[in-house]
Structure 1
Amino acid sequence: MLKIVGVRFKDAGKIYYFSPGDLAIKQGQGVIVENAQGLEFGQAVIEPRLVDEEDVVLPLKNVIRIATAADYASVQENAASCQKAFLTCDEKIREHKIDMNLVDVDYTFDRNKIIFYFTAEGRVDFRELVKDLASIFRTRIELRQIGVRDEAKLLGGIGPCGRMLCCSTFLGDFEPVSIKMAKDQNLSLNPTKISGLCGRLMCCLKYENDQYEEAKKEMPDVGTTITTPEGITARVTGINLLQRLLQVRLPEEELVVEYELDEIRPFNPSLAQSAQS
């Protein structure tokens, strides 16, 4: 077992694990750690706890210290510098006439590097831009191209539901979302209704997908032949997965009747498939 603490570097960002050592770190406290970028300020979101070695990527780096008042002051100073760097970089992009959209700027805590996040339709040649920025800021420069989902996460906004975007408030990682999820949930396949501000399928399609998949395993497919409680052979014309309801068409009356799933049990999917074929 290993003792770890979970740290985030951005709001709703990915959680990274570090070794707290002998530090008594509380949830919500600022901490200074060392990662691939150098010294970084983060927030402890998971208090120290023991986990299996298989659950973490080894080796773990140590938390250097709990953030001090001076560290918080440095974070505020860096944030102000980021705003100025954003304006400077945006101006240089226009001067060089580069087809890219600047999204955000980050200083590392120790100010050894500035990271400029941008979006672009394809690959762009920004070598001259990097030279200009390096001569202005006198530090290491990194330009990092991100996707539209990452852009929405950084900028935030209000989704079609009227709430703040999930990705910018609590989602640490993006999970794959498919059009099949929308179909399984009987949602409109109109792209404008199932797409988020980023233009991609909404992340919330994933939230209830497991429940729909479990419910679908118990329900017959549309077109399946079943036997009603009255002993009549009928064909399924529609299903309501969450309410566990079946709409079936009776052959003689040409009437659509609704039944609860339990009313037609026992239901054998394999027999229904063979009857359908």
Structure 2
Amino acid sequence: MQENTGQQARPVEPGGIHEKDTGSGNVAESGRKVILTTVRLRPEWPVLHYDAGDLPANNGEWVVIPTRHGDEVGQVKGSPVKIQLPEHVSFPRIKRLASTHEIERYYRNLEREEYALNQCAERIHALGLAMKLARVESYFDSSKIVFYYSSDGRVDFRELVRDLVNRLRTRVEMRQIGIRHEAKMVGGLGNCGRELCCAGFLTQFEPVTIKMAKSQNLPLNPSKISGLCGRLLCCLTYEYKTYHALSVGMPNLGTNCETPAGKGKVIRRDILRQRVTVSLENQEVIQFDVSELDGSGSRKKTGRSARSKKGHSAGGARDGQSVPEKTPARRQKRAAPGRKKTETKEKSRGARGRKKTRKKRSSAKSRNRPRSGGRKTRPRSRDSGSKKS
């Protein structure tokens, strides 16, 4: 079970919601009512939203739409809906209805993508590359084919690209994606029995943490809170803000509280209903509303502040004596060891500096000494000579 960081490579998806980023004149004006429709570029791809304008883009119609890599042909899915757009949101506009020739080219591209997928999978197996092919996308004008793959590390696919170029006779691009985007492209059914959220309607991934599952009182079982990609479920983010806001005034588990039936300890919380289950001192278990508790907003005090208060209350206060307040002299005594440490540090620095100076002087003296071929001996004194004689 791994947390979603949202930091993986994201492939470029054609269409989708844009915030005035095309600059081509094919974007609907914001701040007015537009006729919005959904278009699907491939049978297994998620639907994209486009502004139909004045075109009769009914369900099942083939239309030409602008994408990031040129015009594409797609099929309208669903009936057009008139909506009011906010000022900062705009949608690409459908260019025109597709002709019969463009629809035929669309189906030829589908066959070409299937052929390219089989060829690439065969060469990956033959070369023994550690990569998993997810999807193949062919541009509408057949100028390039993009292969989306996932891998644990870097892959040297230069020989693979050369083989694919010779077989397909077009430009080839290999684009690595993350494991969450692989699930989005392949699709499937989640634990709930419905289509994967990422494959159905999600346009971008948000970071998901284990804290979101804990705040919603979900069982921390990897098989229950993980998706097909092995990461935490994207749906954990849907209700996290609501649970977080409702749990602000509720006591934590294990907190002692005062109830109408007496003192007790919180053993269970129902955040949505704003109710807690309390185990009383007489071992009776009763449910109460949060508003019925006295001091329900109190939290467990942990860390340094709680330990310092516990130590402060111990000792003199336990014997019925008042704890004396800290005087300035005591503060100075407590701060004295710190000053001693600072002084010793400065002394050690000065000693190291003096040692370095001595080393420099000794090295300078050794450089200035005249070099001799033989071994240098000390001259004998007169006293030593007289003793030997």
* Larger Rg, first or second structure (1 or 2): 2
Measure the CA separation in 2 of the matches of 1:213 and 1:28: 43
Q: Which string of whole-angstrom CA distances, capped at 9 and with x for unpartnered residues, describes residues 188-221 of structure 1?
A: 2121221111111112222332332232124222
C-alpha deviation, 1:181, in angstroms: 1.4
Q: Is 1:54 aligned with 2:88? A: yes
Report which stretch shifted further, 116-125 or 3-12: 3-12
Residue equivalent to 1:40? 72
- Number of aligned positions between the proteins: 268
Q: Which string of whole-angstrom CA distances, capped at 9 and with x for unpartnered residues, describes residues 55-97 of structure 1?
A: 24xxx86533222343333222211211111111111222322
Q: Among all aligned residue pairs of Structure 1 and Structure 2, give the percentage whose two residues are the same amino acid.
A: 39
Q: Is the 8 A contact 2:40 2:74 kept in 1?
A: yes
- Relative to 1, partners in 2 of residues 1:178 and 1:262: Cα closer, same or farther, differing over 3 Å? same
Q: Is the 8 A contact 1:13 1:173 kept in 2?
A: no
More strand as a share of residues = 1
- Structure 1 vs Structure 2 CA RMSD: 3.0
C-alpha deviation, 1:172, in angstroms: 3.2
C-alpha deviation, 1:36, in angstroms: 2.7
Q: Is 1:226 aligned with 2:257? A: yes
- The amino acid that maps onto 1:54 is H
Measure the CA separation in 2 of the matches of 1:95 and 1:227: 71
1:189-208 matched pairs, under 5 angstroms: 189-208=220-239
Give me the TM-score of the superposition, normalised by structure 2: 0.60
C-alpha deviation, 1:23, in angstroms: 3.6
Q: Which string of whole-angstrom CA distances, capped at 9 and with x for unpartnered residues, describes residues 94-114 of structure 1?
A: 232221111111111222211
1:236 to 262, 266, 270: 266
Report which stretch shifted further, 46-55 or 96-105: 46-55
Q: Which runs of 5+ in 2 are unaligned?
A: 1-28, 307-389
1:85 to 107, 110, 116: 116
Q: Is 1:75 aligned with 2:106? A: yes
Residue equivalent to 2:275? 245
Residue equivalent to 1:264? 293
Measure the CA separation in 2 of the matches of 1:274 and 1:49: 49
- The amino acid that maps onto 2:292 is E
Residue equivalent to 2:185? 154
Report which stretch shifted further, 155-164 or 19-28: 19-28
Q: Is the 8 A contact 1:239 1:245 kept in 2?
A: yes
Q: Which runs of 5+ in 1 are unaligned?
A: none
1:115-194 matched pairs, under 5 angstroms: 115-194=146-225
C-alpha deviation, 1:274, in angstroms: 8.3
Measure the CA separation in 2 of the matches of 1:83 and 1:40: 18
In structure 1, the residue corresponding to 2:95 is in which secondary structure?
Answer: strand
Measure the CA separation in 2 of the matches of 1:55 and 1:217: 33
- The amino acid that maps onto 1:112 is S
